[in-house]
Amino acid sequence: MTTDVPDGHRWRTARGLAPAVALAFRGAPAQLGLLSVVALAGAVLPVAITWLTKLVIDSVTGGSATDALLPLAIALAVLGALTATLAQLTQYLSAEAQRRISRAAKDRLYQAVNRFPGLGRFEDPRFLNQLRLAEAADSAPAQLTTATMQLVRNAITALGLFGSLYVISPLIACVVLVAALPTLFAELALTQRRVNTTTRLSPDERRELFYQMLLSDERASKEIRLFGTGDFLRGRMMRTMSGIHAARRALDRRELFVQSGLELFAAAVAGTGLVWAILAAGRGELTAGDIAMFIAAVAGVQTAVAGIVSLLAQTNEQLMIFTHYTVVVSAPPELPIAEHPVPTPELRRGIVLDDVWFRYGDDLPWVLRGVSLTIPYGMAVGLVGKNGAGKSTIVKLLCRMYDPTKGRITWDGVDLRDLDPARLRDRIGAVFQDFMSYDLTAAENIALGDLTALADPARITAAAARADIHDVVENLPGGYRTMLSRMFADDDGSDGTGVVLSGGQWQRLALARAFLRAEADLLILDEPNAGLDPEAEAESHARISALRAGSTSVLISHRLGTLRDADLIVVLDDGAVTEAGTHTSLLASGGTYARLFATQAKGYQSE
């Protein structure tokens, strides 16, 4: 991922304004409509107040009657009150618009994230950096839209005050206007540097967040305290943070010098104009009201122009940040989806891996090398191999989280590429080795296996019973409504201490999720008994065997005893199939499987 926004992308960045504004108006149409009206009203008020102030001063110094002064004074007071009221209204409308637009932007972002059918995006560090930047850009549409309105407002104000100044001195008016150009170019350059710094620091900020979460994570706390790694991890976090702060500090220092110089330059221009006005007044060329208007106009023009410059810089920065958002929401699916997918048939013949090769990137080594394998309908296939042999990758391919780099996988003769991934997965139940534990209620943790079960509690309890977790859940403080979290412990109305299950209990909940899809055509169990004690493992093995009886299933386990009753056992080594057969035939062949089984059996016998 590049750390800078290339110059060739500037036009595409600028084009991001239209979709950002469109998204903002979809999120908060009423609020932004009112803000537009308020902005236009607020644009002309400074000009009107400046002219009224001149008229009041000229009337006072000219000896006008009180009756003539009173309407001017009342008008000036009304405009002042209106200015203050509009400022408060702008603040309220902006805050409400920001909330609504941020909600709409976040919703659209995660709709796009959920649209990616595979895992490729989420296992790509470059995309994860892009996603982190996109997540930070949910406020960009609102800021871009309000900044655009303020730009228009400041431009109208600047033109009005410039006209007032031009009436007094065309030369000074032009000097004040031209003097704003260095500020404009300097601010745009600083903006580019700020965005580049943010992009460059994105991996470091993710690393800092990782250490921060690790130091406060309940699961990590045991090892951190046992091995005394807390200070080591804190030190890494602080070093990472120091590097981030050093980069930010260098940028802030540069901005300090540049902006201080620009402020001094603006003050010199204003001071020169004031000296000229005083000298002109001494010659009788300007009235007291002219002097007051001149001072107000010079300050107003400089303020408005500085606001325009700042808003342009802010807009440019937000546009470059919003570019990451648009990249994510417009990214095409990493898996090609058939325009007219074939309906996923009920599995009746089997699944075939035909000369399947796979690697996670063109410059990465092969994970699977010419795997040819048939998973017959109604049979259990066990996958055996050391870590990194390709077992979990086969599972990802079967679920179509990825497509094979070469070769194909067919479901009853239909290439998985021709099927809708969502409909294919409807027919698959799975327990992954790195199963999730959700900070939700026990019932919701199970129902995530099939969301239709949320409306049918009996299905949830039945699945829990099959996974032998029903009694555990029933005895929780709130039963199935118990929040399995310390983070959200108060949400279930309990005493607020929260409930956290053991590793084995969490695994049984994961099994219950899979059991909600007991009628699935394919059941995938990746180390389903890891973390269970021997007695629980034996019970779980019996339940799983009963569940998958007559079903098509794929089992992965390093405990070979779990696989001994599989209809077919496949041994993988370095991404290739080296042996295949039943438990009995593989033992008789005396190959890798027989050696591994004997080693494990010897370990139990020696005890």
Closest CA to 189 of 408, 441, 26, 5: 5
**Helix orientation angle between 180-215 and 170-178, rounded to the nearest 10 degrees:** 30
357: left (phi over 0), alpha (psi -120 to 50) or beta: beta
Is 459 within 8 Å of 415 (Cβ atoms)? no
Supply the pLDDT for residue 396: 93
Mean pLDDT (10-residue bins), the chain, 607 residues: 43 69 92 91 85 78 66 84 89 91 93 90 86 86 88 85 79 74 77 79 85 80 79 91 91 86 79 76 73 75 77 80 89 88 93 96 92 94 91 94 96 95 90 85 92 92 90 91 77 59 85 83 81 64 66 86 88 94 93 88 60
Query: Fold for domain 345-427+520-607?
Result: Rossmann fold (3.40.50)
Cα separation, 127 vs 25, whole angstroms: 28
> What torsion, rounded to 10 degrees, do the Cα atoms 168, 172, 176, 178 define?
120
- 7-330 is classed in which CATH architecture? Up-down Bundle (1.20)
Q: Measured between alpha carbons, how far is 102 from 112 in angstroms, rounded to an integer?
A: 15
> For residue 2, what pLDDT is reported?
39
Nearest to 133 by CA among 296, 322, 271: 322
Cβ-Cβ contacts under 8 Å for 406 (sequence gap 6 or more): 355, 356, 357, 358
Class of residue 216 by CB neighbours under 10 A (exposed 0-12, middle 13-18, buried 19+): exposed
SS3 93: helix
The count of other CB atoms within 10 Å of the CB of residue 602 is 10
Q: Are strands 368-376 and 568-573 parallel, antiparallel or unpaired?
A: unpaired
DSSP 511-541: HHHHHTTTT-SEEEEESTTTT--HHHHHHHH
pLDDT at residue number 532: 61
Measuring CA to CA, which residue among 559, 494, 563 is closest to residue 532?
A: 559
> Of 514, 148, 493, 541, nearest to 312 (Cα)?
148
The CA–CA distances, whole Å, from 440 to 187, 206, 436, 444, 498 equal 47, 25, 11, 6, 11
Q: Do domains 7-330 and 437-519 have the same CATH topology?
A: no
Cβ(461)–Cβ(503) below 8 Å: no
Say which residues have a Cβ less than 8 Å from residue 30's Cβ, sequence separation at least 6.
Answer: none
What CATH number does the domain located at 437-519 have?
3.40.50.300
Token code pair at residue 235: 């030190």
Q: Is the pTM of this model over 0.95?
A: no
Question: For residues 109 and 134, what is the distance between their CA atoms, to the nearest angstrom?
Answer: 8
Q: Is 139 exposed, middle or buried (0-12, 13-18, 19+ CB in 10 A)?
A: middle
Q: What is the structure's pLDDT at 357? A: 97
Dihedrals φ, ψ of 372, to 5°?
A: -120, 125
DSSP per residue over 356-391, as a string? EEE-SSTTS--SEEEEEEEEETT-EEEEE--TTSSH
The DSSP call for residue 558 is: S
- What does the alpha-carbon distance between residue 472 and residue 500 come to, in Å, rounded to a whole number? 12
Domain ranges of the chain: 7-330, 345-427+520-607, 437-519
